[in-house]
Structure 1
Amino acid sequence: MNNRLLYATALAVLTSCSTAKDESAGKRTNQSPTSFTTVVECTLYDGMTKQSPQLTIVSSGMEVQVMDTVDAYFVKARVTKDGKTLNGYMYRTCFPQK
């Protein structure tokens, strides 16, 4: 009897976790790019390390489209500079804190 109760409880917990995960994933994919203005001069990198190739230098006060908050340090960004649109990664510290 105890095994059946334990099994039913475990199944209910797993079901509720997977349902919550599916709902949050749907909200994230519908998010559109958000415009931010840089507060300091920053580098747009091709990858998420300082060793990644540099795509361009973004000057202070330049508008950047933030497409996704990738991790604790980087955001995926789109920059238009000299008529070219570049996609890459920038440090979060380039933008004002909310």
Structure 2
Amino acid sequence: MNTRLLYFFGLTALASCSAAGESASSTRPNRTPVAYNTVVECTLYDGMSKTSTQLATVTSGMEVQVMDTVDAYFVKARVTKDGKPLTGYMYRTCFPQR
């Protein structure tokens, strides 16, 4: 009898873990780019530090497509410069607080 109870509770624990994993993946946010307008002049970098290569300078009010929030300081962004799309990283402070 004790072996059956132990087996039953083991299966119940495994089932609850797999159910939690399924619900977490179904609530994943949509990863489509979101258009924002910059509030100050900023730089699009190829990496996530100020010593990274500058890809473009984004003027105030220019539209930028934010693709992902990378960390507390940077977002992955895409801008169009001279008809050519550039993808890189920008500081979060370039955009209004939402």
TM-score category by the smaller chain?
A: 0.7 to 0.9
Tell whether 2:74 aligns with 1:74: yes
Q: CA deviation at 1:5?
A: 5.0
Q: Which residue, 20, 23, 37 being the options, matches 2:23?
A: 20
Aligned to 1:10: 13
Provide the rounded CA distance (Å) in 1 between the counterparts of 2:83 and 2:49.
26
Gaps of 5+ in 1: none
Pair 52,3 (structure 1): closer, same or farther in 2 beyond 3 Å: farther
The alignment partner of 1:68 has SS state of strand
Task: Give the TM-score, by structure 2 length.
Answer: 0.79
Instruction: Report how many aligned residue pairs link the two structures.
Output: 95
Aligned to 1:37: 37
Aligned to 1:89: 89
The alignment partner of 1:20 has SS state of helix
Gaps of 5+ in 2: none
The alignment partner of 1:16 has SS state of helix
Pair 14,87 (structure 1): closer, same or farther in 2 beyond 3 Å: same
1:10-68, Cα deviation, whole Å (9 max, x unpaired)? 2133112211232134x53xx42211100011110101222221111111111111122
List structure 1 runs of 4+ shifted beyond 6 angstroms.
none
Identity %: 60
RMSD: 1.9
Task: Give the TM-score, by structure 1 length.
Answer: 0.79
Larger-gyration structure (1/2): 2
